Structure 1
Amino acid sequence: MLNPPTLIGVLGAPRSGKTRLASLLDAALTDSGLRVVRTSDLSHIHASAQGFPTMQRQTEQTAEWLISQGAANEIAAAAAREVDVVLADGVSFSAVAGYTAALEFRGEVPEPLTTRRIMQLASDRFAAFDLALATLFDPNPEDGTWECGEVHFSALVDQHVHRLLRNSKQPYLAVSESTDSQAEAVHRVIQTARRAVLAA
């Protein structure tokens, strides 16, 4: 039986640069000779197309759908032949963070049983990852096109993402927009993937 590919996750708040980081990692892994399959971010557009409330309005059903569909995409990608790395743009903890941030944004109190159920679903899936990289949200973008509500919500998501990661037992790296931080992310990802290939 073939060893499973290395599973790398990229997560973060809306418009925090996670898809840009995933593209950088995809190119770097490919340039280093590793075979990569990338799963796309099941973003608010995908969820909205299925009729789920998104962003500040998202619900527990939104989170469950994002976690389940993301897991299905990751598992399908890992089952492909001749793959060294599955690069997941958006992972289960992103969905949890988005849901809990939306509740906080709306001033609603989380229902404990619902929160535990969603958290268990996300944690079980997140345990499969070899490494996660979480982008750091910049509340002062250069383009200045953000509305106040969007900034506040994304800042909340950022806080929830990094709190979840700190409380997990999985390895992760916080990544800023700086050149040094992005270079460290590339180094860590390639190192993790190559270690797995050599051990196969």
Structure 2
Amino acid sequence: MTSFPPPHRIAVLGTHSTGKTMLLRRIEMELRGHGLTVARTGRLGKRAAAAGLPKMQHHTVQSTEWVIAQGIIDETNATAQGAEVVLIDRAAHDAIAYLEAAMAHRAETPPRLERERLLTLASTQLPKYDLLFATVLDERVPVDTSHDYDAAFRRLVDDRVHRLLANDSIPHQRVTSDPDSQANAVEMAVQLCLKEELV
């Protein structure tokens, strides 16, 4: 049986259309340019909807658990295939932020025990992340008009993302829409992976 060394894991979370996927694409291109094998996970929201689960403002405990569990499976599959770096588009806590925002949007309160259970599940993934990026909403940046986004809900998700990270003192790097912030995040990811390769 072939055994692969643990890959570097770089994860991102944040509200929709704040540059998460683009950031990971830039990191992937840089790492591939240095000869590293890279796997990128993602499209969890679309896949959840394809499985018949609600998303966005309609997110539920069930869909949250599915997203977290599927994300774990995707990471595990990428590792089993021998990727040296796994880029995770939507860290586990992202799904919880969306659940809390959806519940607030619907003026509902998340069931305490279910929230604690989901937080425990998401927290099991934190030690695996070598870097965790959190994008910051900038409403001055135009979004794709083909998406029918609710601006208030988008703000709610941004608030819940950063509140979760702060309340649980989760180490992360904030990434704004500023080009220097984006470039710094890419450089940080590349340096981390290349430094480890040289050791």
The TM-score normalised by the length of structure 1 is: 0.90
What SS class does the counterpart of residue 87 from structure 1 fall into?
A: strand
1:35 is matched with which residue? 37
Which residue of the partner structure matches residue 5 of structure 1? 7
Question: In 1, are the aligned partners of 2:23 and 2:186 still within 8 Å (CA)?
Answer: no
Unaligned stretches of 5+ residues in structure 1: none
Q: Which moved more, 1:140-149 or 1:189-198?
A: 140-149
- Cα separation, partners in 2 of 1:139 and 1:28, compared to 1, 3 Å: same
- Residues 29 and 171 of structure 1: CA distance in aligned 2, closer, same or farther (over 3 Å): farther
Q: Give the total of aligned pairs.
A: 197
Which residue pairs with 1:160 in the alignment?
A: 160
SS in 1 for 2:155: helix
Tell me how far apart the structure 2 counterparts of residues 147 and 198 of structure 1 sit (CA, whole Å).
43
Output the CA distance in 2 between the equivalents of 1:163 and 1:146: 29
Contact 2:93 2:122 in 1 (8 A): yes
Q: Which residue of 2 aligns with 1:142?
A: 142
The two structures, once aligned, show a CA RMSD in angstroms of 2.1
Cα gap change, 1:169/1:147 in structure 2, threshold over 3 Å: closer, same or farther? same
Hey, what's the Cα distance between the residues in 2 that align with 1:67 and 1:46? 12
What is the identity, as a one-letter code, of the residue corresponding to 1:34? L
Aligned 8 A contact 1:130 1:171 in 2: no
Residue of structure 1 in register with 2:24 after alignment: 22
Output aligned runs, 1:1-200, within 5 Å.
Answer: 2-43=4-45, 45-81=46-82, 83-142=83-142, 145=145, 150-168=150-168, 170-199=170-199
Question: 1:53: Cα distance to partner?
Answer: 1.1
Specify the SS of the correspondent of 1:165. helix
Structure 1 residues 183 and 144: CA distance shift in structure 2, 3 A: closer
Tell me the distance in 1 between the aligned counterparts of 2:186 and 2:47.
28
- The SS at the match of 1:74 is helix
2: CA distance between counterparts of 1:50 and 1:147?
20
Check whether the contact 2:134–2:174 (CA below 8 A) recurs between aligned residues. yes
Q: 1:182 to 1:112 in 2, by over 3 A?
A: same
User: Quick check: 1:131–1:170 contact (8 Å CA) kept in 2?
Assistant: no
**Quick one: distance in 1 between partners of 2:140 and 2:192?**
32
Cα contact 2:4–2:80 (8 A) shared by 1: no
Counterparts of 1:164 and 1:33 in 2: how far apart (Å)?
35
Secondary structure in structure 2 of the residue aligned to 1:29: helix
5+ residue gaps, structure 2, are none
Please say which of residues 51-60 and 138-147 is displaced more in the overlay: 138-147
Q: Which runs of 4+ in 1 moved over 3 A?
A: 143-149, 167-171
Compared CA separation, residues 35 and 67, structure 1 to 2 (3 A): same
Q: Distance in 2 between matches of 1:125 and 1:110?
A: 22
Q: Give the structure-2-normalised TM-score.
A: 0.90
Percent sequence identity over aligned pairs: 38
